[in-house]
Amino acid sequence: MAYSLWNDQIVEEGSIAISPEDRGYQFGDGIYEVIKVYNGNMFTAQEHIDRFYASAEKIRLVIPYTKDVLHKLLHELIEKNNLETGHIYFQITRGANSRNHVFPDASIPAVLTGNVKAGERAYENFEKGVKATFVEDIRWLRCDIKSLNLLGAVLAKQEAAEKGCYEAILHRGDIVTECSSANVYGIKDGKLYTHPANNFILNGITRQVILKCAEEINLPVIEEPMTKADLLTMDEIIVSSVSSEVTPVIDVDGNQIGAGVPGEWTRQLQQTFEAKLPLSINTK
């Protein structure tokens, strides 16, 4: 039996009823988060929860639970499903009301849902690297909000999949922003380059961990826009997300990156990232 989160309750998965007039369904009027679970423990849970509340504030959505209550509910959901390795997804919408672009009355309750998905880590990708393709970034101008409006990302990811690629590297004109579901970085001459955390990208929680890892291994970080041509000249390219962790990119649209294998800086980042994961001691 699988269990889901529904507002402040853990219920059987099939018992949730969402109104067809829910604003998440009709307008994408909501936000979400995904947290990786290792050994039954959420990794960087507080950072994800903090960003969840920050995204809610940016769209003027009131979350009717404290951060501590939400944290407790997520732990309960993991335990109820006996999840060891995988991820937990949760979202909140502005609730259900007669269809109207204007916000509903404040008395309309927000709707919180969540579920878990078991899945092993992508070791082969980490070890061998993946292929990527350039796709024009057609998303809205508030990519810093982890919104339910993901159609632009979905279309880009589909294009990448149809080309046999793991990721779509997005670009606005000639400037590389991020990927369809990950952040992207280039490493050249002992420096790590990545787009600054502004409204054009999501400041990934895994991204924040990677920048700390870079500092620990004395890999200088330069947060400035890169062009597509710049990216193709990099010695190493990596992408990161909750599921991608630190994934090397060895080919972009048929252009070999570096030696065509994961590079030394990538390996050091992977090792430093790995050391931060709750892999052996259950800390719940």
Taking the C-alpha atoms of residue 17 and residue 205, their distance in angstroms, rounded to an integer, is 31
Residue 115: closest CA among 87, 146, 82, 84:
87
Taking the C-alpha atoms of residue 65 and residue 230, their distance in angstroms, rounded to an integer, is 45
Rounded to the nearest 10 degrees, the angle between the axes of helix 205-216 and helix 264-274 is 110
Q: What angle (nearest 5°) sits at the alpha carbon of residue 117, between those of residues 111 and 118? A: 160
What CATH number has the domain bearing residue 192? 3.20.10.10
Cα torsion 91, 93, 96, 101: sign: negative
Q: Could you tell me the residue range of the domain that residue 99 belongs to?
A: 3-118
Q: What is the mean pLDDT of residues 177-190?
A: 98
Q: What is the mean pLDDT of residues 170-177?
A: 98
Q: Are 133 and 253 in contact (CB under 8 A)?
A: yes
Q: Is the predicted pLDDT of residue 161 greater than 60, yes or no? A: yes
Q: What is the pLDDT of residue 76?
A: 98
The count of domains in the chain is 2
Residue 146 has a CB neighbour count (10 Å cut-off) of 22
Q: Does 82 share its domain with 215? A: no
Active site residues: 146
Q: What is the mean pLDDT of residues 136-145?
A: 98
Q: Does 16 share its domain with 91? A: yes
Q: Does 233 share its domain with 127? A: yes
Q: What is the pLDDT of residue 279?
A: 87
Q: Does 110 share its domain with 159? A: no
Q: Report how far apart, in Å, the C-alpha atoms of 111 and of each of 168, 213, 215 are.
A: 31, 36, 40
The model's confidence at residue 280, banded by pLDDT at 50, 70 and 90, is: low
- What H or E segment, with its residue span, contains residue 74? helix 67-80
The model's confidence at residue 235, banded by pLDDT at 50, 70 and 90, is: very high
What CATH number has the domain bearing residue 105? 3.30.470.10
Q: What is the mean pLDDT of residues 270-280?
A: 94
Q: Does 109 share its domain with 173? A: no
* Digit-coded pLDDT (tens) for 15-42: 999 999 999 999 999 999 999 999 999 9
Domain membership flag for residue 281: no
* Digit-coded pLDDT (tens) for 52-101: 999 999 999 999 999 999 999 999 999 999 999 999 999 999 999 999 99
The model's confidence at residue 112, banded by pLDDT at 50, 70 and 90, is: very high
Q: What is the mean pLDDT of residues 197-219?
A: 98
Q: Is the predicted pLDDT of residue 221 greater than 90, yes or no? A: yes
Q: Report how far apart, in Å, the C-alpha atoms of 64 and of each of 61, 70, 73, 112 are.
A: 9, 10, 13, 9
Q: Which of these three, 90, 118, 146, is where a domain ends?
A: 118
Q: Does 266 share its domain with 230? A: yes
